Amino acid sequence: RYLAGLNQKIDDHEKVTIQGELGTGIFVNAASVIMRLGVATTILVGASLILSGQIDFMLLFLFLLVITRVYAPFDQSLALIAELFVSQVSADRMNEIYNTPTAEGVERFQPKGHDIVFDHVGFAYDKKKVLDGVNFTAREGEVTALVGPSGSGKSTCARLAARLWDVTEGTIRVGGLDISTVDPEALLTDYSMVFQDVVLFDDTVMENIRLGKRGATDEEVRAAAEAANCGEFIRRLPQGYDTPIGENGAKLSGGERQRISIARALLKNAPIVLLDEATASLDVENETKVQGALSRLLAGKTVLVIAHRMRTVAGADHIVVLENGHVAEQGTPAELMERGGLYRRMVELQSESARWKLNGTEA
Ligand code: ADP
């Protein structure tokens, strides 16, 4: 899938380059042809003038000498113009980078508590608005679950909560502070993120977990790994904690990778946890282990989870149901079941498909 995207980009680039080359090529060559035509015209006209006896050969020769002298620099400047076109494109790109505003803010981040408040939040990636008038509060010590159909804006909400982008409308406050006024690095010291695409480095298991907290001791790393249920699989690796794990953890299973990222988060022990549940790569045994590790990580924190599992959703303190970038409904699981809206329909659909699967295995 990623390779397909890359191929597409390479094709696009090829097209743009060919178009650019053609454009400047045609212009430069046309100009130089016109200049050559000038020389040819001089010869033709000169020759006919000599024939009619109006000028002599020496005069024509002088003319030709002069115009070839005059044209030489023109030819050179044409080549330079072609280069200028190319540099203009590069300069435009550099300007675009320089003109992109960097996220800035005060370096001190001392919020009062860690409630996350979305206050009439609107957001658009380019022109397309993907969130509109989103209001909800994720309280400290509670699990707030974001649910809704794919593309409804769950991940966007999670990214905005960590100021990976700035909101287009409204504000997001953490502990009463508008996060768009806080330096992103200072802000993120209070966040742990356990997302689907865990980034692992081609280093040892130990160093990969230590990323959670700069300067953590080996003991601290081991304690976090044990708490995240990593200990058992790490001991099975050939060199234990000192085993290199390959490019992006190629030698580990999905569940193991996820537990490493949970170990990182445990080590960091930040008051806010953003979590994107990924179930696809987990078998039942792994899922139980990840679940155990998570409950240790989440205790007492402000937890915002993009929920895929009904079990997580049903155990959440507060549920925000998103639909097309709007909050369709929110409340406790019991309240939403009572209400009989989108949430209830989703629960019923899920349990139906679960029953269907059960029947399938029995048959
Ligand atoms: P969900 O997590 O509920 O599946 P997302 O927040 O990922 O939804 O996406 C919401 C909408 O924003 C979708 O229409 C998606 O196509 C669009 N979107 C998501 N990420 C980007 C991006 N980086 N650039 C442009 N559009 C995006």
* Closest CA to ligand 1's atom 22: 125
Q: Residues 9-29: what's their mean pLDDT? A: 86
Q: What percentage of residues in the chain have a pLDDT greater than 90?
A: 30
Distance 155 CA to ligand 1 centre (A): 7
pLDDT value of position 133: 93
pLDDT value of position 272: 94
Cα separation, 92 vs 357, in Å, equals 56
Q: What 3-state DSSP class applies to 351?
A: helix
152 within ligand 1 shell (Cβ under 6 A): yes
Long-range Cβ contact pairs of 293-299 (< 8 A, separation 24 or more)? 293/227, 293/228, 293/229, 293/230, 293/259, 293/262, 293/263, 293/266, 294/262, 296/227, 296/228, 296/266, 297/192, 297/194, 297/228, 297/262, 297/265, 297/266, 297/273, 298/143, 298/273
Distance 350 CA to ligand 1 centre (A): 23
Choice from 118, 121, 125 to test ligand 1 binding pocket (greatest atom count within 8 A of CB):
125
What pLDDT band is residue 357 in, cutting at 50, 70 and 90? low
150 within ligand 1 shell (Cβ under 6 A): yes
Q: Residues 228-249: what's their mean pLDDT? A: 84
**Which range among 45-54, 103-112, 191-200, 273-282 shows the weakest confidence by mean pLDDT?**
273-282
Q: Residues 287-299: what's their mean pLDDT? A: 76
Contact 342, 328 (CB under 8 A): yes
- Which ligand 1 atom is at minimum distance from the Cα of 149? 3
259 vs 251: which has the higher pLDDT? 259
- pLDDT tens for each residue of 186-204: 899 999 988 766 778 888 8
Chain center to CA of 214: 24
pLDDT value of position 358: 52
pLDDT value of position 363: 33
Cα separation, 88 vs 183, in Å, equals 34
125 within ligand 1 shell (Cβ under 6 A): yes
- pLDDT tens for each residue of 76-118: 887 888 788 888 888 998 888 888 777 777 778 888 999 999 9
Q: Residues 59-65: what's their mean pLDDT? A: 87
Distance 81 CA to ligand 1 centre (A): 42
* Closest CA to ligand 1's atom 1: 151
221 vs 75: which has the higher pLDDT? 221
Q: Which residues contact 260 (CB under 8 A, 6 or more apart)?
A: 198, 200, 205, 208, 209, 225, 228, 230, 249, 252
156 within ligand 1 shell (Cβ under 6 A): yes
Mean per-residue pLDDT of the chain: 85
Q: Does residue 167 surpass a pLDDT of 90? A: yes
What pLDDT band is residue 360 in, cutting at 50, 70 and 90? very low
- Which ligand 1 atom is at minimum distance from the Cα of 126? 25
46 vs 311: which has the higher pLDDT? 46
pLDDT value of position 195: 77
